[in-house]
Structure 1
Amino acid sequence: MKKGNKGIIVVLVSAIVLFILNYFLLLPLNLKFLGTTLILTLFIVINCIVLNLISLISQRKTEGKKSKKSFMISGILIVVIIAYGLVNSPIFRADEYRNLIGNVEQKEFTNEIDAVDLTQLPIVDQQLAQNLGDKKLGTYVGLGSQVTLGEFTKQNVNGELYWVAPLLHSGLFKWMNNKEGTSGYIMVSATNTKDVKLVDKLNDKPLKIKYQPNAYFGTDLKRHVYMKAEKKQGLTDFSFELDDAGKPYWVITKYTNSIGFSGQKILGVIVVDAESGEINEYDMNNIPAWVDRVAPDFFIRDRIDWWGELVHGFFNFSKKDMLTSTKGMNMVYNDGECYYYTGITSVGADEAIVGFVLTNTKTMTSTFYKVSGSTEIAGMQSAEGKVQNLEYKATFPMLINVENIPTYFMSLKDKKGLIKQYAMVSVEDYSIVGVGETIKEAKSNYVKTLKSKGDITLEFTGEEKKLQGIISRIGAFNVEGTTYYNFIIKEKPETIFTVSASISSQLPLTKEGDSVSFSYNETESSSIDVLEFNNINIKGIK
């Protein structure tokens, strides 16, 4: 066979191999993506090497010269890729990387963050949701051997927070025997550990998750989307989400690289019906309201770090004004919107933050709240230290507003991963901790500890009310050196009122049967903090 024919055959064979390889890799057909560029370069280099070997075997000088040229081409391509990546790195384009986050507005914490609603605090983290989901799946005989639980995604479904995970095929043979799809999904309430359910029907019809990551060939989720959607864009973050009617979808972020092989720019989302496979693409201006997560958390973390670390360019050896995100990132909900939360610390700082950033998961607009205090890890350690004799472990905290004080809230779990207590820790002073077996108790103890710090001003939420009644029961207790009184009046026997001894010198003299008047902020809690107190039976003493 002639050398020229051999070369053509080599190129054709390698092209077929490249096509088959991409069937599995599903690379974007765009040289802005590093993976695509590397595979294409590898294809050229391998062809050059093979053609060179053929040339050496034929022992023709002219072909040998051509083979040297092929090696030169391979070397030039590799150098070009390295140079292109370097030129488009933060070393030379620091300002562009830093500006990817857009305008980061600074605001006051109390003006933007809603006051805590104890009934809506998410106490279940992803690990506990997984455990509860596995336990629920095990109650259905035979189902657990056929399917496995996918990754849980926290989301807002009709105004309530849930962790949701699809049932996925547990292997090739399970898929072959059940190609119509797996039987639905599991929902775990983020606010109630007893609310766990398997949803296998929708509108009285069996629910089947046909298109999924654990399927094969045409029903494999990534391959299905790749074949149907625009192939020049990148696809990432395949999240399982429900609309407000409970219908399951896959929400996929589509993006392109705006700075060399990096600087991801989000173009919108692709929404895939998990049952029928129907695909709808949305740009950033018309994303459905029920979609919670458009920007992946790892995209947002990169942008925050570039914004903080490249403040004075790449070469900032003194680390002047450099900021970086703290470990861990959480999703929080405020006023019906979903945000990524992360603390911001000075580069080199261990346990102190200078503030935190909230980034809207849809619009990607970021707001920086300047608050000096402890990192999330330091807050967790402080809460664990409060119950060190019980050896409970804290979940990664979420940020909440307690009487306009930025506060870390977390669950405390035992060695089996079960929630035993709750903790609230002041961001500004992590020595201020409130722990309780219920969220209300934790908040009550936390507020009492805040009150004992004379340099902290609390701005209580709720409507201020005044009341008069007769004491039916009263008792004193001490929290970290500060004396408090709990009392109940006959006119409101279902409510416990709590008041600091510093509010009134009449409290130690008050007994059952005394008539009292007082003011308080009305809340949903069964234990209410008193603002002013007066014993009508005692005159001349305030």
Structure 2
Amino acid sequence: MITIKFPKKKNLQNKFYLLQSKKSQWISLGITLIFMLIAFYIFIPAIHVKNFSFWLFLLATVVGYVLVNGIICAIHRERPNLKPAIIMMAGLVGIMLLGTVAGLRIWHAKRYASILKIEEGDKKDIPSVEGASSIALMDTASAEKLGDRKIGSLTDVVSQFNVGPYTQIDYQSSPTKVAALQYEGFFKWWGNHKEGVPGYVKVNPVTMAADYVPLKEKMRYVPSAYFNDDLSRRIRFRFPTVMFENLHFEIDEQGNPWYVATTYDHTISLFGGKKVTGAILVNPITGDMKQLGLKDIPQWMDVVFHGDLLMKQYNDAVQLHKGFWNSIFGQKDCRQTTTVKVKDDDGDSSYKADYGYVAKNGDIWVFTGVTSVNGDSSNIGFMMANERTGKTRFIMASGADEGSAMHSAEGEVQEKGYHASFPSLINVDGTPTYIMVLKDNSGLVKQYACVNVEQYNLVVTASNQKDVIDRYRRLMKGEITADEAKKSGESQIDTSKFVDKTIQVKKLEKIDIGGNTHLYILDTEGKIYQAKYADVLKMLSVKEGDKITIQTDGKNYLIK
């Protein structure tokens, strides 16, 4: 008997997945497309080959397709075809790496150095003391406290809104900080978005006055809104290929609200050499907007070239002009903008770049000191840059840097514990001078200080801007001595309520500040007292453990 054996069917599904079907491919593509549109709506990258985020978005889309396709194939028990996706991912990663490496400063040092054009300036470019009202002495932190206090008094506003970021502008020939109100979270937006944001805060950094400005027509399209009311999203849908940043609030000379975004391009390789090309101007009430070139920027608009970018481009210009390796090793003719020592909330210290503002001819200029790259405490000169036009000047004027001036001013009022804000620069009868405010621990402005740039041990303090300038001018003219200037500042303290208090000295310490020796006393209660040694010479005989008598009102004190 002949037995015929038929070959058994190979159960391929027990060994391998079947090859991926076209149906699974289309399903995977469809799901990926949906997720891609959702991701684009959320992250709104500019659709531009020179936008790194756009390539990252494409890479994330391909990775998403691989994950979705893997799940779909597993459900259908099919084997995914990953070769095309892997090739695409490798290509995208390659473009991103090549574009990044090709744009490094090591290859294009002089091109980076030439992005910002720097003109030679003169001491006459430093704002005159006669126009001291144009100096924006108040820092943003102080403006925030004043603005919050003003809004806190408006019960119908404070419960739904808070104050957004401040912008330093020139408003009707006066430096002014402005900030629009913003929604305090999603639910506050949901409950108010049909009406919109009702107004903005205006702070005068010279008079220290804050005002709330209500609007007849409220702002609907703002950065703190959600969905299609989000201002960045609205700009992106109107200009899908334009790269923009620095979205901020401004007002025109009539007090009308506007939002401004800086547009830019990359001029070196794909992702290097950022260069400002113009701005996008948005009416937050109607949502109307238009793109402007640099030549079309209106006079009232103040911030197109923001300060951080100008500082970075200036450092490139003064460090890379003789090549990349010279900026690292030889450092011949290399400079940098000054940095100041700051403390964070944890008490840790770090150095950061900072700059001041001045209103000049209807524009806002940022300025900061310029020092050598060796990190010493002296300035070679100062740089000033126009935030509307980008015009930049270097002014030769040697002297102490801003950090040294701040410490010197703080040393004059050490017993009060005041902290100096970043100073502004003025020309007092031909003498470059730092002027700054001194704040208490709550951030409120308490005094003003003038510090000579060349001799930073020449310091004058007073309770208002006019008095501190008057006393400083008298000091420079030789009408009063440094000690007399200090005593005239002390006369602002009302001593009529002072009473005698006996303290026991736990520790004595002498510290030199700005060429003057200061005496610090720690008592057994942990309180610290300070005075110039020259003013309390009788303390020479005091030792640790002795008891001394001071006069105090509980806040201020005098050591006799």
Q: Identify whether the pair has TM-score above 0.5, normalized to the shorter chain.
A: yes
Query: Shift of the alpha carbon at 1:49?
Result: 6.1
Partner in structure 2 of residue 397 of structure 1: 423
The percentage of aligned residue pairs carrying the same residue is 29
Partner in structure 2 of residue 181 of structure 1: 196
What CA distance in whole angstroms lies between the structure 2 residues aligned with 1:423 and 1:301? 26
Partner in structure 1 of residue 222 of structure 2: 212
Correspondence 1:314 to 2:324: yes
Tell me which of 16, 25, 35 is aligned to 2:53.
Answer: 35
What CA distance in whole angstroms lies between the structure 2 residues aligned with 1:234 and 1:414? 42
Give the aligned residue type for 1:182. V
What CA distance in whole angstroms lies between the structure 2 residues aligned with 1:415 and 1:19? 49
Partner in structure 2 of residue 14 of structure 1: 32
Partner-residue secondary structure (3-state), 1:37: helix
Correspondence 1:445 to 2:471: yes
Under a length normalisation based on structure 1, what TM-score does the superposition of the two structures give? 0.77
Tell me which of 388, 394, 419 is aligned to 1:368.
Answer: 394
What CA distance in whole angstroms lies between the structure 2 residues aligned with 1:338 and 1:272? 20
Compared CA separation, residues 484 and 219, structure 1 to 2 (3 A): closer
Correspondence 1:256 to 2:271: no
Maintained 8 Å contact 2:28/2:72 = no
Partner in structure 2 of residue 463 of structure 1: none
Relative contact order: is structure 1 or structure 2 higher (C-alpha 8 Å, sep ≥ 6)? Answer: 2
What CA distance in whole angstroms lies between the structure 1 residues aligned with 2:276 and 2:172? 26
Compared CA separation, residues 69 and 134, structure 1 to 2 (3 A): closer
Correspondence 1:108 to 2:108: no
Aligned residue pairs total 452
Pairs within 5 Å for 1:160-199? 160-178=174-192, 179-193=194-208, 195-199=209-213
Compared CA separation, residues 144 and 69, structure 1 to 2 (3 A): closer
Maintained 8 Å contact 1:250/1:271 = yes
Partner-residue secondary structure (3-state), 1:349: coil
Query: Shift of the alpha carbon at 1:111?
Result: 5.2
Partner-residue secondary structure (3-state), 1:292: coil
Correspondence 1:386 to 2:412: yes
Runs (5+) with no aligned partner, structure 1:
453-475, 486-542
Correspondence 1:154 to 2:173: no
Partner in structure 1 of residue 144 of structure 2: 130
Partner-residue secondary structure (3-state), 1:280: strand
Compared CA separation, residues 435 and 53, structure 1 to 2 (3 A): same
Partner-residue secondary structure (3-state), 1:417: coil
What CA distance in whole angstroms lies between the structure 2 residues aligned with 1:199 and 1:70? 55
Query: Shift of the alpha carbon at 1:242?
Result: 0.9
Query: Shift of the alpha carbon at 1:160?
Result: 2.1
Maintained 8 Å contact 1:52/1:70 = no
Partner in structure 2 of residue 416 of structure 1: 442
What CA distance in whole angstroms lies between the structure 1 residues aligned with 2:407 and 2:84? 62
Maintained 8 Å contact 2:170/2:302 = yes
Partner-residue secondary structure (3-state), 1:166: strand
Tell me which of 211, 224, 228 is aligned to 2:234.
Answer: 224
Query: Shift of the alpha carbon at 1:271?
Result: 1.3
Pairs within 5 Å for 1:297-376? 297-316=307-326, 317-326=329-338, 327-376=353-402
What CA distance in whole angstroms lies between the structure 2 residues aligned with 1:74 and 1:436? 65
Compared CA separation, residues 58 and 72, structure 1 to 2 (3 A): farther
Give the aligned residue type for 2:52. L
Give the aligned residue type for 1:417. G
Partner in structure 2 of residue 99 of structure 1: 114
State the Cα RMSD in Å. Answer: 2.7
Deviations 1:496-537 (A, max 9, x none): xxxxxxxxxxxxxxxxxxxxxxxxxxxxxxxxxxxxxxxxxx
Partner in structure 1 of residue 102 of structure 2: 87
Pairs within 5 Å for 1:224-243? 224-228=234-238, 230-243=239-252
Query: Shift of the alpha carbon at 1:59?
Result: 9.4
What CA distance in whole angstroms lies between the structure 2 residues aligned with 1:84 and 1:405? 49
Partner in structure 2 of residue 434 of structure 1: 460
What CA distance in whole angstroms lies between the structure 2 residues aligned with 1:343 and 1:482? 27
Give the aligned residue type for 1:323. R
Compared CA separation, residues 400 and 362, structure 1 to 2 (3 A): same
Runs (5+) with no aligned partner, structure 2:
1-17, 339-352, 489-560
Query: Shift of the alpha carbon at 1:312?
Result: 2.0
Query: Shift of the alpha carbon at 1:247?
Result: 0.8
Query: Shift of the alpha carbon at 1:249?
Result: 0.8
What CA distance in whole angstroms lies between the structure 2 residues aligned with 1:256 and 1:68? 35
Deviations 1:299-335 (A, max 9, x none): 2122111112212211121222221222202221223
Deviations 1:63-105 (A, max 9, x none): 78x6356435433432332122111111111111111102x11
Query: Shift of the alpha carbon at 1:364?
Result: 0.7
Partner-residue secondary structure (3-state), 2:296: coil
Partner in structure 1 of residue 482 of structure 2: 479
Maintained 8 Å contact 1:116/1:400 = no
Compared CA separation, residues 162 and 70, structure 1 to 2 (3 A): closer
What CA distance in whole angstroms lies between the structure 1 residues aligned with 2:71 and 2:228? 39
Correspondence 1:292 to 2:306: no
